[in-house]
């Protein structure tokens, strides 16, 4: 029987990279929930309205967010626009935490995520997967790393895409995101007791994937 694998953790912990690789090895579907919230943030910026709670919720309620598998890659669509690359800008990153804190936005995204995982055979990553989205997941993992390491990973990722952000700024942003995600009233970032803690500080990607595969049995 195909399992459901829930991978939670803070910003920059490598969840998306690891979840995608594990899904490929298992022959499962990879669902990047963070990308779905980023798609909403992108739409708010694209429309150009003031990012008030009301405006964000109004846009989210009308927005069709979809993940499509094209070849071996997962592409993110906001209505009919492929926003896979556009949702990784510093502007979207700065807004997404606010978007993800809003109850109506989370309710819509969680409903979509549960439908995608209904038949099993999925690896889903985010911040509240084991605690809220898929509380009955077969495998639960909490992936983390030091703030310094997470900031360095984010810096390298952004540098490769042409952005030159000071690493000190990224560290401050990640610390602030950790605080916001952990303290939000609705579905905060939390490690459920049954989730296996995996600290990837200084650990090569290949070794992290091996450990997760071992946990998947």
Q: How far is CA 120 from the centre of its chain?
A: 19
Q: What is the pLDDT of residue 68?
A: 86
Q: Render 186-215 in DSSP notation, one character per residue.
A: SS-----TTSEEEE-TT--HHHHHHHHHHH
pLDDT at 36: 94
User: How large is the angle between the packed helices 103-117 and 90-100, nearest 10 degrees?
Assistant: 90
Report how many domains make up the chain: 1
**Pairing mode, strands 139-144 and 196-199:** parallel
- Per the structure, the complete domain to which residue 27 belongs is given by 4-216
pLDDT given for residue 38 in this prediction? 97
pTM for the full predicted model: 0.83
Say which CATH number the domain at 17 has.
3.40.50.300
Gap between the Cα atoms of 104 and 61, Å rounded? 8
Ramachandran sector of residue 20 (left: φ over 0; alpha: ψ -120 to 50; beta: rest): alpha
Alpha helices in the chain (DSSP H): 15-26, 33-47, 53-62, 90-100, 103-117, 147-160, 167-183, 205-216
Structure tokens at 182: 């952990």
Mean pLDDT of successive 10-residue stretches along the chain, which has 217 residues = 93 92 93 94 97 97 90 87 94 93 94 91 94 96 96 90 90 92 88 96 95 94
């Amino acid at each position: 029987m195909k399992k459901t694998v829930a991978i939670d953790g803070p910003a920059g912990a490598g969840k998306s990279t690891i979840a995608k690789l594990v899904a490929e090895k298992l022959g499962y579907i990879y669902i990047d929930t963070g990308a779905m919230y980023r798609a909403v943030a992108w739409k708010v910026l694209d429309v150009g309205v003031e990012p008030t709670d009301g405006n964000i919720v109004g846009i989210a309620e009308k927005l069709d967010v979809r993940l499509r598998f094209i070849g071996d890659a997962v592409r993110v669509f906001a209505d009919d626009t492929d926003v896979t690359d556009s949702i990784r800008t510093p502007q979207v990153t700065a807004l997404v935490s606010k978007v993800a804190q809003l109850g109506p936005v989370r309710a819509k995204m969680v409903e979509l995520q549960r439908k995608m995982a209904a038949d099993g055979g999925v690896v889903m990553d985010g911040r509240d997967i084991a605690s809220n989205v898929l509380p009955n997941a077969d495998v639960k993992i909490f992936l983390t790393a030091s703030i310094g390491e997470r900031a360095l990973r984010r810096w390298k990722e952004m540098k490769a895409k042409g952005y030159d952000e000071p690493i000190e700024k990224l560290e401050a942003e990640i610390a602030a995101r950790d605080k916001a995600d952990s303290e939000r009233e609705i579905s905060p970032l939390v490690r459920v007791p049954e989730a296996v803690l995996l600290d990837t500080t200084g650990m090569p990607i290949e070794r992290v994937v091996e450990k997760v595969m071992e946990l998947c049995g």
